[in-house]
Copies of this chain bind each other. A is one copy, B any other.
Amino acid sequence: MELCDIILQPQNRNIRFTMLDKDEVKETIVNVARHIFSRFGFRKTTMDEIALATRKGKSSIYYYFESKEEIFQAVVEKEANLLKAELHEAISHFEDPREKLKAYILVRMRALNKLANFYDALKNDYLSHLEFINVIRKKYDDDEIATVESILKRGIENGEFVIDSPHLASIAIVTAMKGLEIPIFVEVNEDEVEKRIDNLVNILFYGLIKR
């Protein structure tokens, strides 16, 4: 086992005097598993490690979850929700749609960069049989488009934009945003990143701004 000692401290069997809610225990397991999965990915994370890190017997983990996949699913869902929340928070600080979008792209990229391992696991073929991943991805994508759409709509209300279909436009923007990600994952130079985002946002908004 090569996990950080903080998580690994051994402990005696838990002695409690009131029952914990089953969901609370599940939550704890998911939180611990999140760290391990995000560091090592799905394959390289073992149930033994999750058990050790949660200070439980391996069989106890199976009392709460059917399988490793089920834990992974819960983790991915949590990860997606946290990212979503972080993104909504980030754009809330700006009024100008252009600034909002810039903040969105920046935060999104940094977050995905931090989760690079995780993200790899999701992209890779050997997990494509996990149907739930596609479901989560779809839900996440829809939210992304809806968020961008709401930014655009605000611009339209302002009279700042002229857009026939904010929905189609937002799909285009999200697609472009994803395209931007790939080269940025490789070289992580902060200045360069800022510049590229600026460029992208300028290009994207070029056709939309009222003149």
- Residue pair A1, B124 in contact (C-beta under 8 Å): yes
- Give me 13 other A-B pairs in contact (C-beta within 8 A), A2-B44, A3-B120, A6-B186 excluded: A1-B124, A1-B126, A2-B41, A2-B42, A2-B43, A2-B117, A2-B120, A2-B121, A2-B124, A4-B120, A40-B40, A40-B44, A44-B44
Chain B residue at minimal CB-CB distance from A6: B186
Min Cβ gap A123→B in Å is 9
Copies of this protein chain in the complex: 2
Question: In whole angstroms, how far apart are the Cα atoms of A203 and B40 in the complex?
Answer: 40
A24-42 Cβ-contact flags toward B at 8 Å (1 or 0): 0000000000000000111
CB distance from A26 to the nearest CB of B (A): 26
Instruction: Give chain A's interface secondary structure class.
Output: loop
Q: Nearest Cβ distance between residue A185 and chain B, in whole angstroms? A: 9
Chain B residues with CB below 8 A from A3, complex form = 120
Q: Smallest CB-CB separation from A127: which chain B residue? A: B2
What does the 1/0 interface line of A78-98 toward B look like (CB < 8 Å)?
000000000000000000000
Contacts of A1 in B (CB 8 A): 124, 126
Cβ of A178 to closest chain B Cβ, rounded Å = 16
List, in ascending order, chain B residues with CB within 8 A of A126's CB: 1
Residues from chain B with Cβ under 8 Å of A42 in the complex: 2
In the bound assembly, the distance between CA atoms of A120 and B6 in angstroms comes to 13
Q: Which residues of B contact A2 (CB under 8 A)?
A: 41-44, 117, 120-121, 124
1/0 contact string of A150-164 vs chain B (CB within 8 Å): 000000000000000
Q: Provide the A102-131 mask, 1 if CB < 8 A to any CB of B, else 0.
A: 000000000000000100110010100000
Pairs across A and B, CB under 8 Å, 8 listed: A1-B126, A2-B41, A2-B43, A2-B44, A2-B121, A6-B186, A40-B44, A44-B44
